[in-house]
């Protein structure tokens, strides 16, 4: 939308806290969310060393992860700070947290029913 008179009174910045989000997810088709959208999800997640995380896959979603800090082994490959990896639909992810880690995860589309766990 282009403003012709410079009036921005109809816009209001929103502010939420990450601690109030569910498991670090702050954008997506869920509540709470700073931006509700079906197009994608974004999370900032901290994992502790040796934290259990389910082996899983998504039938429809593509998942992109940026390692902010730490070391993670996924599917026999080691990822470190600054690494970015993409997991395609139907590709199994079996993460092992080798160090305390922080990640940013983007998943598209946003579908809360598209996570399928696999027993180890």
Q: Tell me, what CATH number does 101's domain have?
A: 2.60.120.10
Q: Which domain holds residue 46?
A: 40-118
Q: What does each of the 120 residues of the chain score in pLDDT, given as a tens digit?
A: 454 566 666 778 999 999 999 999 999 999 999 999 999 999 999 999 999 999 999 999 999 999 999 999 999 999 999 999 999 999 999 999 999 999 999 999 999 999 999 988
CB 45 within 8 A of CB 22: no
Per-residue burial over 72-109, b = 16 or more CB atoms within 10 Å of its CB, e = otherwise: bebeeeebeeeeeeebeeeeebebbbeeebebebbbbb
Q: How many domains does the chain have?
A: 1
Locate tokens 């999800």: which residue?
41
CB 108 within 8 A of CB 41: yes
Q: What predicted TM-score, i.e. pTM, was given to this entire model?
A: 0.86
In a domain, 70, yes or no: yes
Q: How far apart are CA 44 and CA 68, in angstroms?
A: 9
């Amino acid at each position: 939308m282009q403003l012709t008179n410079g009036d921005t009174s109809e816009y209001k910045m929103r502010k939420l806290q990450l601690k109030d989000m569910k498991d670090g997810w702050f954008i997506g088709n869920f509540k709470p969310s700073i931006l509700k959208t079906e197009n994608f999800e974004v999370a900032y997640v901290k994992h502790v060393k040796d934290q259990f995380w389910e082996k899983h896959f998504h039938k429809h979603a593509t998942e992109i992860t940026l390692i902010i800090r730490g070391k993670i082994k996924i599917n026999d490959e080691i990822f470190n700070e600054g690494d970015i990896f993409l997991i395609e639909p139907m590709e199994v992810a079996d993460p092992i947290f080798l160090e305390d880690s922080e990640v940013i995860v983007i998943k598209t589309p946003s579908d809360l029913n598209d996570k399928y766990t696999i027993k180890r």
